[in-house]
């Protein structure tokens, strides 16, 4: 039986929520515009202001120079930011994944060097995972690093690297020894300076002209031994161990929340027919459920558990919710949308045409379903 135990936010957590809410109200008052969560363009200045409040790298332990706060506290901050349509992309990868990686697998030097800078909003990371021929089959990466004096020579190409155009480092999954039979063996993670010689970044523009994604080429890039993350050959294990963190967060289902909230404000004073009421009631119910599941995963992480299946279910359900919410908003809007329109209409138009990319982040749902099946099967066998 999967468990999504409910525990309400504590008084301290609620106080934190109010602080973030106030902060975002102030940001809005200062002219920050509403965007579609992790799909909005990066805003480094904003990310630094968030960092200045102590809200980047929140779960980094105190002994590593972090605030040492809980996964739930981080959940509270992230959900408030997304609800307000904050542009969190710049610090997002470092906050969500890289910091955890350094804490768990990084050398003392990495921890000393990078963790305080993440917390300060002084360094941005991106992830070099997918390749032209790999897609969901991550283990088939061809980018390879060969041994050289004092380090590695990196060659290959990554695609769909979000934020490479402004980041400082790309955490690159690559092959450090040949795949003999089992392709999950012999992979490693390298911390590659995007300004190093031999690195080139070129944009992959989305259908609406947006530039989140990039190709990153490595042409004999020298990576010193000190920049291997974790152990040589442990890349696969390191990457997959982070998936519960990556998949269950509110970023998985909150892209359209700001649009929903705006639409809702308009409806409050409108003459709303019965079917719209019913449909909004359903959205409320689904959202309450998802949020409860996501929050309970954060609680489980704080208890030291790794609820991977639960996280995969939340990701899957969350992306469904986003697609349905967009469809519903489109129906509520009641007609043709102009992608160039200001305010709600333009935002909704962006959501409609970029929605297909929402399901693709963090592993396609098809692959996740196999993960869930295997885990359910294993649990069942163990309990039998």
What residues contact 102, with CB distance under 8 A and at least 6 apart? 64, 110, 111, 114, 115, 118, 229
Q: Closer CB to other proteins, residue 196 or residue 333? A: 333
Binding pattern to a copy of itself, positions 136-165, x when CB under 8 A? ------------------------------
Stretch that binds other proteins, among 63-71, 112-120, 129-137, 192-200 (CB under 8 A): 129-137
**Beta strands at 228-229 and 187-193: parallel, antiparallel or unpaired:** antiparallel
Number of residues that bind other proteins (CB under 8 A): 92
CB of 186 to other proteins, least distance (A): 17
Strand partners, 126: 170
- Interaction residues for other proteins, span 173-212 (CB under 8 A): 204-207, 209
SS (H, E, C) 225-248: HHHEECCCCEHHHHHHCCHHHHHC
Number of residues that bind a copy of itself (CB under 8 A): 4
Strand partners, 228: 190
Q: How many CB atoms lie within 10 A of CB 241?
A: 17
* Out of 180, 334, 342, 382, the residue judged to bind other proteins by CB under 8 A: 334
Q: Closer CB to a copy of itself, residue 211 or residue 277? A: 277
From a copy of itself, other proteins, none, interface partner of 172 (C-beta below 5 to 8 A by class): none
CA distance 152 to 170: 15
CA distance 364 to 267: 34
123 φψ region: left (φ > 0), alpha (ψ -120 to 50), beta (else): beta
* Out of 157, 276, 302, 306, the residue judged to bind other proteins by CB under 8 A: 276
Q: Closer CB to other proteins, residue 120 or residue 352? A: 352
Q: Closer CB to other proteins, residue 64 or residue 315? A: 315
Q: Residues of 10-19 as b/e, b for ≥16 C-beta within 10 angstroms? A: eeebeebbee
The Cα-based distances of 250 to 42, 255, 318, 354 in angstroms read 18, 9, 8, 18
CB of 346 to other proteins, least distance (A): 11
Residue 181 near a copy of itself by CB under 8 A: no
* Out of 120, 157, 291, 306, the residue judged to bind other proteins by CB under 8 A: 291
Q: Closer CB to other proteins, residue 146 or residue 284? A: 284
CA distance 217 to 236: 21
Q: What are φ and ψ of residue 130, in 5° steps? A: -65, 155
* Out of 44, 185, 201, 360, the residue judged to bind other proteins by CB under 8 A: 360
Residue 381 near other proteins by CB under 8 A: yes
Q: Closer CB to a copy of itself, residue 278 or residue 379? A: 278
Contact 60, 101 (CB under 8 A): no
From a copy of itself, other proteins, none, interface partner of 226 (C-beta below 5 to 8 A by class): none
- Interaction residues for other proteins, span 144-163 (CB under 8 A): 160
CB of 276 to a copy of itself, least distance (A): 9
CA atoms within 13 A on the CB side of 267: 17
* Out of 257, 298, 311, 344, the residue judged to bind other proteins by CB under 8 A: 257
Binding pattern to a copy of itself, positions 324-363, x when CB under 8 A? ----------------------------------------
Q: How many CB atoms lie within 10 A of CB 147?
A: 12
368 CB burial (10 A radius; 0-12, 13-18, 19+): buried
CB of 274 to a copy of itself, least distance (A): 6
CB of 345 to other proteins, least distance (A): 10
**H/E segment holding residue 174:** strand 169-175
- Interaction residues for a copy of itself, span 222-281 (CB under 8 A): 273-275, 278
Task: At 354, list the tokens.
Answer: 């970029």
CB of 253 to a copy of itself, least distance (A): 25
CB of 94 to a copy of itself, least distance (A): 42
Q: Give the residues lining the site for a copy of itself (CB under 8 A).
A: 273-275, 278
């Amino acid at each position: 039986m999967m468990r999504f135990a409910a525990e309400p936010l504590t008084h301290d957590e609620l106080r934190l929520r109010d602080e973030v809410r106030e902060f975002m109200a102030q940001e809005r008052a200062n002219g920050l515009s509403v965007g579609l969560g992790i799909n909005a363009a990066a805003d480094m200045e904003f990310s630094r202001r968030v960092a200045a409040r102590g809200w980047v790298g929140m779960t980094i332990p105190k002994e590593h120079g972090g605030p040492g706060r809980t996964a739930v506290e981080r959940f509270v901050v992230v959900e408030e930011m997304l609800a307000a349509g904050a542009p969190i992309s710049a610090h997002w990868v470092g906050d969500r994944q890289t910091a955890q990686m350094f804490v768990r697998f990084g050398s003392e030097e990495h921890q000393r060097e990078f963790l305080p800078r993440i917390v300060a909003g002084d360094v941005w990371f991106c992830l070099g995972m997918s390749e032209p021929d790999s897609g969901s089959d991550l283990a088939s990466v061809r980018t390879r690093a060969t041994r050289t004096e004092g380090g590695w020579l990196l060659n290959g190409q990554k695609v769909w690297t979000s934020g490479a155009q402004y980041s400082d480092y790309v955490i690159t999954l690559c092959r450090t020894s040949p795949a003999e039979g089992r392709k999950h063996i012999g992979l490693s993670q390298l911390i590659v300076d995007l300004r190093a010689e031999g690195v080139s970044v070129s944009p992959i523009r989305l259908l609406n002209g947006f530039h989140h994604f990039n190709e990153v080429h490595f042409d004999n890039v020298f990576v010193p031994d000190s920049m291997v993350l974790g152990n040589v050959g442990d890349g696969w294990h390191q990457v997959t161990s982070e998936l519960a963190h990556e998949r269950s967060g509110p970023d998985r289902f909150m892209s359209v929340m700001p649009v929903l909230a705006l639409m809702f404000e308009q409806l409050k004073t409108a003459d709303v027919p019965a079917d719209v009421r019913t449909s909004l009631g359903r959205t409320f119910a689904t959202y309450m459920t998802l949020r409860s599941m996501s929050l309970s995963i954060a609680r489980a992480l704080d208890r030291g558990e790794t609820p991977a299946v639960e996280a995969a279910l939340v990701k899957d359900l969350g992306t469904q919710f986003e697609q349905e919410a967009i469809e519903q908003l489109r129906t509520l809007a009641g007609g043709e949308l102009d992608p160039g329109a200001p305010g709600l209409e333009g935002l909704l138009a962006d959501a409609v045409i970029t929605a297909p990319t929402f399901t693709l982040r963090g592993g396609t749902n098809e692959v996740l379903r196999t993960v869930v099946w295997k885990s359910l099967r294993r649990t069942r066998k163990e309990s039998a």
